[in-house]
């Protein structure tokens, strides 16, 4: 398995491979950059088709976390971890403890959090072996009650606000009543996004690899279930990818009828050229690491030990102004939004860490 010559290797500081024969753990940790602080990023467990696919995912995801934290003005670097395996069939306490030991071996250069296929209870098991875990502490809500450390609500709310920004910019409307939205993936984040949209009066079409997730949206939110192949070509206003990355490619972009692409998934573009294709087709793309930063904002404040729900919410609300800056610059400079997002992130990334908003 080539790493340094891999097309998605981007000067990563460290790529670690972990194997525990007893528990069956096979995992990769990628630390992209720690210029602004320790690398914080989720731990994903997924039934990858191959080890090569897992490596591609972790390299791309970790790079995205560097840019996400910089764009969100957080004193953090970018990293990610992936566990190769089916979370519904192969996850065990022994495997999670082995993952905790693997994370501990990075000596604090990487801090993990929840991601697809892992949960707060999973992370709590990892804390038996490592202290480098975020998103597990109960946190105060604005109403004084406590909530789980799960950052998914913050991610979903940030995506919801970002989706509203994109709809306002592209369609000139702030009222979401009757807005037609197709959501691909309705897990922890996707379902919460769907709930926000439902409460705002939007009409929903949903798909997921797990039928029970789809049925929950149908039963609770009045969503319409569609197949994984149908989701791209629906005559809707917004396409919201909230599952795996690389889903905007030659085949799928050509099928889209939506005016806006705004969702929670990481690395939505299979390659940069597909961001160009979206622009050519008049589709406004909300760059993934700009719109889905609510979760990393949440866990950053927790990790720094001063979790103020109002401060966290205010920080998440800044996703709106960041996206509007990206959309406006992209329009005036006649560039795709992903190109401008990268430029803005690099501008912020080049600042000394002490000048970033500290959590």
How is residue 269 annotated by DSSP?
B
26 carries an active-site annotation: no
Active-site position among 56, 80, 139, 195: 80
Identify whether the C-beta of residue 94 lies closer than 8 Å to the C-beta of residue 22: yes
- Cα gap 172→315, rounded to integer Å: 24
Helix (H) or strand (E) holding 111: strand 110-114
Distance CA 92, CA 71 (A): 36
Count of CB atoms within 10 A of residue 303's CB? 21
At a CB cut-off of 8 Å and minimum separation 6, what does 79 contact?
Answer: 29, 30, 31, 32, 39, 40, 41, 62, 65, 109, 110, 111
Cα separation, 344 vs 322, whole angstroms? 9
CB 288 within 8 A of CB 267: yes
Q: Which two tokens stand for residue 343?
A: 């430029």
Active centre residues (catalytic):
80
């Amino acid at each position: 398995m080539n790493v340094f010559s891999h097309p998605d290797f981007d000067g990563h500081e460290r790529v670690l491979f972990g194997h525990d024969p007893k528990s069956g753990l096979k995992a990769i940790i990628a630390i992209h950059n720690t210029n602004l602080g320790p690398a914080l990023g989720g731990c994903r467990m997924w039934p990858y088709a191959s080890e090569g696919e897992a490596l591609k995912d972790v390299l791309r995801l970790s790079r995205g976390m560097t840019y996400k934290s910089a764009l969100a003005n957080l004193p953090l670097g970018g990293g990610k971890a992936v566990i190769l395996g089916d979370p519904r069939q192969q996850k065990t306490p022994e495997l999670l403890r082995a993952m905790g030991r693997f994370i501990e071996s990075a000596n604090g250069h990487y801090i993990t959090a929840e991601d697809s296929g892992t949960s707060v209870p999973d992370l709590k098991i990892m804390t038996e072996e490592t202290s480098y875990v975020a998103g597990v502490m109960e946190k105060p809500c604005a109403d004084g009650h406590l909530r789980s450390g799960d950052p998914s609500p913050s991610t979903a709310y940030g995506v919801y606000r970002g989706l509203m920004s994109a709809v306002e910019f592209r369609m000139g409307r702030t009222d979401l009543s009757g807005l037609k939205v197709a959501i691909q993936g309705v897990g922890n984040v996707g379902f919460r996004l769907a709930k926000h949209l439902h409460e705002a009066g939007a009409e929903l079409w949903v798909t997921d690899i797990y039928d029970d997730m789809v049925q929950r949206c149908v039963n609770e939110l009045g969503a319409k279930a569609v197949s994984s192949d149908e989701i791209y070509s629906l005559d809707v206003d917004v396409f919201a990818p909230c599952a795996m990355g690389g889903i905007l490619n030659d085949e799928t972009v050509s099928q889209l009828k939506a005016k806006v692409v705004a969702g929670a998934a990481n690395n939505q573009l299979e390659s940069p050229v597909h961001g160009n294709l979206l622009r050519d087709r008049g589709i406004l793309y909300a760059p993934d690491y700009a719109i889905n930063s609510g979760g990393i904002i949440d866990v950053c404040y927790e990790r720094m030990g001063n979790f103020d729900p109002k401060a966290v919410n205010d920080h998440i609300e800044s996703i709106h102004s960041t996206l509007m800056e990206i959309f406006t610059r992209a329009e005036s400079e006649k560039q795709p939004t992903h190109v401008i997002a990268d430029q803005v992130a690099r501008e912020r990334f080049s600042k000394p860490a002490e000048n970033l908003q500290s959590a």
